[in-house]
Structure 1
Amino acid sequence: MRVLIVGGNSTLAQALIPMLSAFAEVITAGRSGCDVALDLNGDIDAGRMPRDIDVLVNAAASFGTGDAASICQTEQTNVLGALKLCQLCTTLSIGHMVQISSIFAHLPPQSPFYSAYSLSKRHAEELTRLYSERSGLALAIIRPSQFYGTGPACRKHQPFLYTIIDKVANHENVTIYGSHDARRNFIHLDDVARLIASAIRLKITGSHDCAQLQPVRFSEIIAAAAKAFCSSSQMVFLPGQPDIADNVCPADDTLFRLLGQYPAISMEQGMAKEAAYRKCMQ
């Protein structure tokens, strides 16, 4: 099997590559530092793409901010870029495409976490699904929830979580705005990569969530980190501030049942991995 990963320098792609390499030849594509140069914001020259690809994985994403130019850029990359990759699959006779979406694609407009990114991910799902139905391209859409990993790779997109870890590692208390112990569906990067690799190997199709089935509260994250770092840190509420809202999704284990495997790394185990990593780096 030959797998082309677009967005080959992304955090998820870098975790996915060794998982896929166990059973496939992996080729990366991206704007820089990849095997093949490819920019989703420009024209894709199919003549410069590798041949005999069995699966194309779209792990590229633009996260945007809030201004008009950023929103345009996010739609250009996440939506039109995904459509270009669908067309590339047809041109190169690639039989299976895996579109990496986000659990945020489910967010309604009234959610405080709704953004150009979440909206673009939903647009990309709808457009790639339409293309699949019209063309016969086998398509899998996989929506990871917020993921964290070992080391600094995920810090950019999960700054609040890593601030918590930093404070606990330094034996500082963690202050939480408001008085609500908010919940999240954090899943470990290694679990996400393993599950996506299995979906590729088994040629799964359809739209599927990939999230921890049991959300964790901030207090549970802090407790897991305190245990891993042998820290006395505790959570301290700031009741004079607005509460932090929950950001959770309904439990859906459809993908895991299809794969015959579930997320395996608990928050306690994830924090233990991070503590061990930091100890080795000292």
Structure 2
Amino acid sequence: MKILLVGGSSSLAQQLIPHLSCYADIITAGRHNCDIYLDLQNPEEKGIAHKIGDMTVLIHIAAYFGKSLKDDQEDVLKAETVNALGTYKACLLAEKLKAQHVIYISTIFTQLDDHSPFFNSYALSKRHGEELAAFFCAQYKIPLTILRPAQFYGSILCKRHQPFFYKLLDDVFLGKTITLYGTGKAKRNYIHIDDVVQVIDRVVKQRVTGTYQCLYPQNISYKELVQTAINVCQSNSRLIFNTQKADGFDNTFCYTPSLYQQIGFEPQITLADGIKDYLINHKNYG
């Protein structure tokens, strides 16, 4: 089996490669530190298919997350170029490589209502990417899997995309006082990156197709996150609440285990275990 990873320098790809390498030849494509240079912002690269040869599976991981929360014109244009049109280009490449399976790593945020305070150009462009991938693969009869993971954590490379999550952890590690708005009850869904890797690994091996969410079975509040970190780290941090500020909105999704039932796997890594792993591997605590 030969697998092409588009976005091969991403945090998810780096965690995924050791697993896939056990039974497949892996080629990475991307702008940085990859086997093949591929920039999804540019017109279709010529000659890549000839350099690579036929592929069994193409896994598309590359994404543009945006520079700010403001969604200025530059961010919107870049998000659509990379996340939507870039996905179509990845599918074009899959067809040229005679790929037998395309796996597109999307995001659960594509399921946000357009009026959600969390809906942004990233969610919109990834939704367009899903639609273009489905359109192309149906036209060329290429089996397609779309996975929509929740926000994932665990690798140090995830830190740049989860700044608030990791700031809370780092403040606990340093014994700082943590202040949350309202009662800290706003909930999120976080899944450990190693669980996402296990899901993708099984989807590849079992040739599962279709569109699926990829969530952790339980949502957590920011209060639970901080308290769990304090307990795991045996930290002296104090958790206080600014009741002059309102609680934030929940950003959660209806959990359906259909994919996990098909592949015989459900996310295993608890928040406490995930924090403990981060503590051991990425921080010189104490």
TM norm structure 1:
0.95
For the residues of structure 2 that align with 1:77 and 1:210, how far apart are their CA atoms? 22
Alpha-carbon shift at residue 41 of structure 1 (Å): 1.3
Residue of structure 1 equivalent to 2:7: 7
- Following TM superposition, by how much is the alpha carbon of 1:275 offset from its aligned partner in structure 2, in angstroms? 1.7
Aligned residue pairs total 281
Whole-Å separation in 1 of the counterparts to 2:253 and 2:154: 20
The equivalent of 1:117 in structure 2 is: 122
Match of 1:130 in 2: 135
Aligned-partner SS, 2:160? coil
Q: Secondary structure at the match of 2:47?
A: helix
Q: 1:106 to 1:279 in 2, by over 3 A?
A: closer
Structure 2 portions without partners, runs of 5+: none
Unaligned runs of 5+ in 1: none
CA RMSD of aligned residues (A): 1.5
> Could you tell me which of 252, 256, 278 is aligned with 1:252?
256
- 1:281 positional shift: 7.9
User: 2:184·2:222 contact (CA, 8 Å) conserved in 1?
Assistant: no
2:22 is aligned with what amino acid? A
Poorly superposed stretches of 4+, deviation over 2 Å = 43-49, 232-235, 278-282
Q: Is the 8 A contact 2:188 2:250 kept in 1?
A: yes
Provide, for residues 109-141 of structure 1, a one-character-per-residue CA deviation record: whole Å limited to 9, x for no partner.
Answer: 111110000011111111111222222111000
C-alpha distance in 2, partners of 1:167/1:32? 31
Shift of 1:167: 1.3
Superposed, which structure 2 residues align to 1:183-202 within 5 Å?
183-202=187-206
Once the two structures are superposed, residues 157-206 of structure 1 have per-residue CA deviations (whole angstroms, 9 ceiling, x without a partner) of: 11111111111111222111223411111000111112111111111110
Distance 1:46 1:203 in 2: 29
One-letter identity of the residue aligned with 1:183 = K
Report the counterpart of residue 103 of structure 2 in structure 1. 98
Match of 1:233 in 2: 237
For the 8 Å contact 1:46–1:92, the answer to whether it is kept is: no
Question: What amino acid is aligned across from residue 203 of structure 1 in structure 2?
Answer: R
Counterpart AA for 1:55: V
| Match for residue 88 of structure 1 among 81, 84, 93 | 93
Measured in 1, the distance between the counterparts of 2:45 and 2:285 equals: 43
Q: Distance in 1 between matches of 2:282 and 2:13?
A: 23
The alpha carbon displacement at 1:279 in A equals 5.4
Instruction: Give secondary structure in 2 for the equivalent of 1:97.
Output: strand
Q: 1:59 aligns with which of 47, 58, 61?
A: 61
Identify which of 199, 204, 207 aligns with 2:208: 204
Given that 1:46 and 1:91 are in contact with CA atoms closer than 8 Å, whether structure 2 keeps it comes out as no
- Indicate if the aligned counterparts of 1:46 and 1:88 stay in contact, CA closer than 8 A: no
State the secondary structure of the residue aligned to 1:60.
coil
Deviation at 1:79, TM superposition (A): 0.5
Q: Give the structure 2 partner of residue 27 of structure 1.
A: 27
> Does the 8 Å contact 2:153/2:162 carry over to 1?
yes
Contact 1:209/1:252, CA 8 A, preserved across alignment:
yes
**After alignment, is 74-83 or 10-19 more displaced?**
10-19
Q: CA deviation at 1:21?
A: 1.2
Distance 1:175 1:35 in 2: 45
- On the 8 A contact 1:54/1:95 being kept in 2, the answer is yes
Deviation at 1:264, TM superposition (A): 0.7
1:146 lines up with 2:151 in the alignment: yes
